[in-house]
Structure 1
Amino acid sequence: MKNTTMESNRLNFGNFFAEDSISLTLEQVNLAADMSQTLATRPRQQWQVYLNILAKLGTIEWLRMRSPEFIQNHSIQLSNPSVNQVQVGNFRLNLIVTDSSMNSEVCVPRVFLEDSINPSQFYLLVEVIEDLPVVEDSEEQVNVSVLGYLTQAQLNQQSPIVLDDELALFSTDWFELKPDKLLLYLRCFEPETVSSKQQLSQAVQSVVNVANWLTNQLGEIAQELSWTLLPPLAYSSAFRELRSPIELFSDAVTELKNQAQLVIPFEARTAYKELICGEIPMRLYATIWRIDTELNSQEWALLLLLAAQPSSNLPVGTQLTVRDELQVLEAPVLTDSTQDYIYAQVIGAYDEKLHVSISFPDGNGIILPPFTFVG
């Protein structure tokens, strides 16, 4: 997690997560109000339970919008502990609710920290804002935003302040401001991996410097990760039943050149990596080249092509996602069983990290170490 100051966190919350704000319906707001009166008796308790239920409803809608495969007919359970929790597959998410992203600290139920029977893997910082109606007789608007997340492994490195028998205090500076990264963890890791800081950091810290490829070198990390560098690309329209990796890629690029006006310069270099997820053997091709412009903007292009290995097929619903540190750049999905591959092309600045993941309709997936261009 980046070491940022408290002030920078406050400034960045709104910028990072404006697109992740969920507006709840009047029906959802009324449901939260009714349930809060059922689950609590004192007014202060009712208010907190009300916020917790709104946070859970908003988080479920956020998950449904961003990754609908995670949420299948999810319902609110009528018990006090459950309104602070969302179950996603084998993961338990505890919701830490705040009514202002400007708060530097947030209260957390101590039961979250002491539940060894049902441990959580993630703590989500969720903001609930009630906007009073501007026009008389208009409806009150409730917006819910997922501000950040904290893994159990990261929490183990912190020291929450115990306030009393029921509450502890978290710093909002502990939370990471990357919801897409959270979705990758939910899709591609197992709970025991997220609980181990060592395994988690090893999974996300390796970086492949593709600038080496232009000088006919893979680089140490790419070699360790079993990438294979191909010779310069030569377009081909020939078809043979048994084709080499370079021939398979050349045929795909020839097709893209004709159908999608794809242009790859001669000096571009390509490497590929064999992958397998479950019983699906795949091959991921990565082609890179410098982008020369009159403005000398120091940019590079990354073309990714994901194909099944010969005698295999990618399942419909397979998704190839490429993102930078702030947002998803491309996320093509295989929609036709007759398709041989899916591809994505993006542009990055020098030193910028581009993150790549592959997900499948059964919820499994692969996260690759990020690509960067340094050199």
Structure 2
Amino acid sequence: MKTLLLFLLLCHASSAVKHTLRYFLTGSSGVSAFPEFLGVLEVDNVQAGYCDADTFGPKQDWGQTVAEHDPDQEQWYRNECYNKRPFLFKEMISLKQRFNQTEGVHILQLMSGCELDDTTGQVSGFLQYGYDGEDFITLDLNTLTWIAPTPKAVITKQRWDTERGRIKYNERLYTEVCPQWLKMFLHYGEKTLLRTDPPSVSLLQKTPSSAVSCHATGFYTDRALMFWSKDGEEIHEGVEHGEILPNHDGTFQMSVDLNVSSLEDWRRYHCVFQLVGAEDKIIMDLDRAVIRTNSIPPSEFPAGVLIGVVVGLLLLLLLCITALLLWKNKKGFRAASTSDSDPDTTPKGTPVRLCCH
């Protein structure tokens, strides 16, 4: 059966495309070979800007263009980078004292930004803090109150809930201003941020008894879905999803494994890939004929090669036996003596020649 590799424009409506602008600020203590403070600006998971105690600037050409066209936005990032630094360290010192932490590695991180749904135009903002790898406190922009997911953050929530001016400022910043900044990045970074590259999809298998891996590579963006289906319905049993990983050229790759040890009718199974927001799908049949593998089934092992190897070994063996016999004939026999004298009267010191050993 030939591979079914089709772009379908059927059944399913277009999935929503969501774009995000995220700003990370990180303060740390006790971490060697790592900046005590750094900030990272990301648009759709692409790093657009960076700052630390000594450095500030864009990481992309289109980020520089945004800064040139909107100096106020650049100034906000600069202020956020340098003005939040003492704030983060003040809060981290307070938390270390509250939790009686005098030594060790400690990290306080702020993540803020907004998300824009291209299809509906819906906007959502977010502002949250994490401490030592765990969610610490989050601002609910609907109720305009702080949420403490852990009892450790209740004291901070009670204190920050009283700062109404700061809460209102954050509400406007992340629900009104941030989406406009995000649209500006999408406009100037369109060639990078809005491009879509379809993948190359193949089926891989290490051994006949191992799982079949559906592998897609070379796609962009990293917002993609891939799954195994049976009779057109997504399945979960016997399926293991891998992570989306970056390639060296800026594209991405992913794989989804299917345990085929108990499958009977392979024709009912398909691998499906789709970029989020795209109507097109790539569908590939589960077909033994197209699986790439390092193993060779016995029935497919080339008989000509096997016969040639056997004949070659036999010829080599025959050649070795012939050479051995010739060598023995040369070393084991000598010419006989032509003298008629009695061996007993042979002069002393004259070597006695024997007909054979």
- Please classify the TM superposition score into its range, dividing by the shorter chain length: under 0.3
Tell me which of the two structures has the higher relative contact order, counting C-alpha pairs closer than 8 angstroms and 6 or more residues apart.
2
TM-score normalised by length of structure 2: 0.20
TM-score normalised by length of structure 1: 0.20
Q: Which protein has the larger Cα radius of gyration, Structure 1 or Structure 2? A: 2
